Structure 1
Amino acid sequence: MPADEGLKRFISTSFRSVWSLELLLFLKRRPGAYGREELIAALCGSELIVQQALDWLVAVGLVILDEQGRAIYHPATPELASLVQRTEELYGRKPDAVRRLIVAGAAPGLTAFADAFRFRKD
């Protein structure tokens, strides 16, 4: 399955960091409701990183919080669920490519600057 433009756009706009992707995949692979402390321990992340990733994943419709503030994987639409599945598959096969898409989406100016120094075959 090639990484089409729609999938690339989803990855670069839905994840502000690799941490947010790892958090989402943790929740997807282990159904249930997880508190922040559980996520911090499971991912060996900081409170700030987990909080920012959760806030973003909720905002983009991939995670919901229950009444106690615990995170649950719950894509808002079947299309989002499909994109997450395709992202997970691509990440398993080509993790560096997915990481580059995330970084490019998070810092487009930095990526453009770095690309200016790339050697090209002319």
Structure 2
Amino acid sequence: MLSDDALIFLQHSIKTVWTLEILLILRRDPDRGWSPEDLIRESRSSTLILQEVLGNLGRAGLIAVDANSRFRYRSATPALERLVSEIAAAQSRRPAAVTKALLSVSSDKIQNFAEAFRTGGRT
């Protein structure tokens, strides 16, 4: 479904379903500048969620902010664009599989945390 590079990027840079959703909203019309209010309305999210998402996307090099404080999709490099294109294509074909791949990193962390208590000092 996703290359190893795209999967790693998805799990470590996109991180949340909200971030993926808003990334895809921005990407579908990269020439449009989105106000925070527009993004909240379109994604049915909240101000708090949007702040976290925009922080994630900014750190990942995937958005630009114009002089009017509107957000646009802008990939910082062609390599990032290829990863985002691969993720977007997979999301359109198999959204449940992409969501599962995205969330699997969280499940792994929870499992590792639980394992630490199961094996830690009990005999």
TM bucket, shorter chain: 0.7 to 0.9
Give how far 1:41 is off.
0.9
Instruction: Please name the residue that 2:73 is paired with.
Output: 73
SS of the aligned residue for 1:87 comes to helix
Instruction: Please name the residue that 2:34 is paired with.
Output: 34
Say yes or no: does 1:57 pair with 2:84. no
Matches within 5 A, 1:1-122: 2-31=1-30, 32-106=32-106, 108-112=108-112
- Structure 1 CA distance, aligned partners of 2:5 and 2:50? 26
Find runs of 4+ consecutive structure 1 residues off by over 4 angstroms.
111-115
Q: 1:111 to 1:7 in 2, by over 3 A?
A: farther
Q: Which has the higher helix share?
A: 2
- State the number of aligned residues: 114
RMSD: 2.0
Greater Rg by CA? 2
Whether the 8 Å contact between 1:17 and 1:106 is mirrored in structure 2 is: no
- Runs of 5+ consecutive residues of structure 1 not aligned to the other structure: 116-122
TM-score computed with the length of structure 1 as normaliser: 0.83
Give how far 1:64 is off.
1.3
SS of the aligned residue for 2:100 comes to helix
TM-score computed with the length of structure 2 as normaliser: 0.82
- Runs of 5+ consecutive residues of structure 2 not aligned to the other structure: 116-123
- Structure 2 CA distance, aligned partners of 1:109 and 1:90? 24
